[in-house]
Structure 1
Amino acid sequence: MGISPGTERARELPQRVARPGGGALQYWGWRAAQATIGRTPAPAAYRIASGLGHAAYWLWPRGRRAMRGNFARVLGTAEGGLVDRVARASLAAYFRYLVDFMRLGNGAARLPRVEGERAFAALDRLLERGRGAVIVCMHYGNWDAGAAFAASRGYPLTVVAEGFGDPRLDALVLGTRERLGMQVIRAERAGPSMVRVLKRNGLLALLIDRPVPGEGVEVEFFGETVEVPAGPARLALATGAALVPVAFRRLDANGERMEVVGDFSIVPCDEARPECVRALTQQVMRVHESFIRERPEQWYMFRAFWRREAAAGATGA
């Protein structure tokens, strides 16, 4: 949810793998991968994806340093063996997520079974208020399959998407989302459209673990200050919409079973003061911290997320 699969992550994958020739090469790479996955039995496709993820971890020094710093903080230890295992598992899980998305896109897969009826019942109660809900996700689990599942149940779900730099790739990826029942808003013209979605009592899905240097709000996350987008909290305060941190966890390696978890108890302040924006964002991040603690390998963060880790990486530490 929130941005196109691979857009943010592609900027973080090795340049020689992800973006060696810009959008055109990404487009042809995506087409080739999707065609190959469409002809490959699902178990084999997921095994290959896992292997590629493990290999990419060792072939990508910059990303490996970033992931080691991130997961050392998440795990509360700098013990190299454990940190490496979780970081490798995260990159392998991300490659499996790409297989999920491509198989859904070419019709080779059905939507996963999603456990968590209590979460949907809680969401229904929130929507009875008539003010919509801002669904706040992270690059965790499989947010796209979760969004598609919610849309299949009739929820009016809108996602905000960034482009890849090639209109053909945009059409492939964003078109897949639309075929899966999501409404897509382009990020460059998202502002008024997002407000309209909420005024119509719709669901607006946003990703919060994105870089916003100098434009976000500082909160504590795993015991260290981090800057994250203030937009979700500001939208909730401006429109009266509910603010709901949500995650869709994978329950198996082949993308057939998922679990939806969320916190539906966050109550916005009455005024859009800076301290209210910060307090609401802190609540959201605290919930996501609990999700990540349970399944850290399902968080896909390939850049240094905290300033201290980023500074250490810049100095080669």
Structure 2
Amino acid sequence: MPETKYERVDYMLAVYAFKLVSWISYLSPDWLRYGFAAIAGEIYYWAARSHSHYSDLSMQIVLGEPKINKRVRMISRRCFRNYVKYMTDFFRVNHLTGDDYYKVTGTGGWEYIEQAVAPGKGVMLVTPHFGNWDVAAMLVGKRGYKLTSVANDFNPPELNELIQGARRKQGLTIFSPKEALRGLYTALKRGEIVVLLLDSPLQSEDSESVIINFFGKPARFPVGPARLVLKTGASIMFGYAARQPGNNYYYGLWSPPLSYELSGDKEKDVLEITQLFAGEIEKLVKRHPDQWYMFRKLWLTDEEVARYEQQKREAPLRKPARARKNAGIAQE
């Protein structure tokens, strides 16, 4: 909570600003809202140089270009425009009904979700920061499935309630990072669906992770989803909602349950399941690179890989309490 009256004023201004933008996004015609979003995305790209720098690096790797060039920057700028379009869609969520989502979204693969939930062991549904992940999750919730996820808290609590309340309204149960592991485990044991974003760059070296091959380069991914799968026997799936030309339609697709074989070596199995998830993300991003919003550092340098491996060798049994609290669960 804010310590001074000035902080409190700032917080309340944030709440009122969110409400105002929410209503403007909802009431504005699509041509105006998305036109504004495209302009705002361009401004965001050129103004937030640290974010656009990492986006350019990401697109260089995804596109397989030897350096950041005109093509890389063009796709990267489209990423920023699509991201702001996603944000205007999210601001509207509090005012939408279930029918609104069915009007603007096509879907495929529902039979795979039915197949995955049938054993009653829960489903781990993984999606990246791609397209509109809120729509992907909410569509599943509107079909009557119970969904659980994790998201960072926002200050002040009133703003947090507006943001997370919008998601709960669409059928999601949201846990804060501190409550995540227990909440997600319980949901899976009840046979429900857990939705997690796997491609969030980890902010702390204490967060439990593995290094996987992603687009031919080393990247650190959280281990939480894979460990929850091993503990609960949950089915694992991949899903997304991609924006279609014209902006008014998304196409949501759920993959068949992903198959994997257990070796009995838990750490090896965690690595292989995480690599399996990363492979699905890689295939999707190659198809729609301009809808992947990777504006932070994800890949590791050779020096960072060496330091990670050294730390792993020096402290194989140490698991600090702070690491357990954020034991490989990425947040939005």
Cα-to-partner distance string for 1:86-138 (whole Å, 9 max, x where unaligned):
11100110100011111222238811544343x21012112111101111111
Q: How far did residue 260 of structure 1 move?
A: 1.4
- How many equivalent residue pairs? 290
Equivalent residue number for residue 39 of structure 1:
27
* RMSD of aligned Cα (Å): 2.3
Give the Cα separation in 1 of the matches to 2:177 and 2:13. Answer: 22
Equivalent residue number for residue 314 of structure 2:
none
Equivalent residue number for residue 208 of structure 1:
198
CA contact (8 A) 1:70 1:309 kept: no
- Structure 1: any 5+ residue segments left out of the alignment? 1-20, 312-317
Equivalent residue number for residue 163 of structure 2:
173
Equivalent residue number for residue 85 of structure 2:
96
Cα-to-partner distance string for 1:196-220 (whole Å, 9 max, x where unaligned):
1111110000111112243211101
Give the Cα separation in 2 of the matches to 1:310 and 1:83. Answer: 26
Paired residue for 1:197, among 163, 187, 202?
A: 187
Cα-to-partner distance string for 1:145-165 (whole Å, 9 max, x where unaligned):
111111111111112121112
Give the Cα separation in 2 of the matches to 1:53 and 1:310. Answer: 34
Give the Cα separation in 1 of the matches to 2:34 and 2:245. Answer: 11
Structure 1 residues 136 and 130: CA distance shift in structure 2, 3 A? same
Give the Cα separation in 2 of the matches to 1:116 and 1:283. Answer: 23
Structure 1 residues 115 and 40: CA distance shift in structure 2, 3 A? closer
Q: How far did residue 282 of structure 1 move?
A: 0.4
Partner AA of 1:64 in structure 2: S
Give the Cα separation in 1 of the matches to 2:261 and 2:161. Answer: 36
Q: How far did residue 262 of structure 1 move?
A: 2.4
Give the Cα separation in 1 of the matches to 2:301 and 2:14. Answer: 32
Equivalent residue number for residue 129 of structure 1:
119
CA contact (8 A) 2:122 2:191 kept: yes
Report which stretch shifted further, 45-54 or 179-188.
179-188
Give the Cα separation in 1 of the matches to 2:129 and 2:220. Answer: 16
* Secondary structure in structure 2 of the residue aligned to 1:189: helix
Q: How far did residue 263 of structure 1 move?
A: 4.6
Give the Cα separation in 2 of the matches to 1:139 and 1:24. Answer: 28
Partner AA of 2:80 in structure 1: L
Give the Cα separation in 2 of the matches to 1:239 and 1:131. Answer: 7
Matches within 5 A, 1:171-250: 171-212=161-202, 213-214=204-205, 215-250=208-243
Cα-to-partner distance string for 1:31-71 (whole Å, 9 max, x where unaligned):
23213223321221111011100111111221121111111
Q: Is 2:53 aligned against 1:65?
A: yes
Give the Cα separation in 2 of the matches to 1:290 and 1:239. Answer: 27
CA contact (8 A) 1:100 1:255 kept: no
Structure 1 residues 229 and 255: CA distance shift in structure 2, 3 A? farther
CA contact (8 A) 1:249 1:298 kept: yes
Cα-to-partner distance string for 1:221-276 (whole Å, 9 max, x where unaligned):
00000001100000000000012222221123434332314252323526461111
Give the Cα separation in 2 of the matches to 1:227 and 1:22. Answer: 36
CA contact (8 A) 2:23 2:92 kept: no
- Bigger Rg over Cα: 2
Give the Cα separation in 2 of the matches to 1:164 and 1:232. Answer: 23
Give the Cα separation in 2 of the matches to 1:226 and 1:187. Answer: 22
When normalised by structure 2's length, the TM-score is 0.81
